[in-house]
Amino acid sequence: MVGSIYFIQMPYSDFTEFKGRPVLVFRKIDKSDVLVLPLTTNLKRAGILLTNKDIVSGSLKKDSVVIVPKITAIDSSLIRKSNLIARLKDTAFENVLKEICNKFEC
């Protein structure tokens, strides 16, 4: 699950509506919650660029940007194996984690 991209119904920041969006699971908090980062195909957005060269299994339809640090905690029941898009190579996932640390000064 961690290091994988899933398609989920992601709530807007005001939680009034949802939008289908790919997200990268980057941390499991506990048995029922995970932390995710949204992806966008708008390559002008700040974040980490991902291409199919960064993927170990599955594929991206388009190059995408992981929007860091737009972190959201979600219930892990929103993640279903049928919604799995791709799994990142370890090096690509480590780059995302480094960028998170840069943004949060860890």
Whether 95 contacts 48, CB under 8 Å: yes
Encode pLDDT of 20-70 as tens digits: 999 999 999 998 999 999 999 999 999 999 999 999 999 999 999 999 989
Predicted confidence at residue 84, as pLDDT, reads 96
Domains annotated on the chain, with CATH:
4-104 (2.30.30.110)
**Residue 51, number of CB atoms within 10 A of its CB:** 11
Closest by alpha carbon to 45, among 62, 24, 25, 68?
68
**Residue 88, number of CB atoms within 10 A of its CB:** 24
Q: Identify the H or E element spanning 95.
A: helix 90-104
Confidence (pTM): 0.92
d(Cα 84, Cα 79) in Å, to the nearest integer? 8
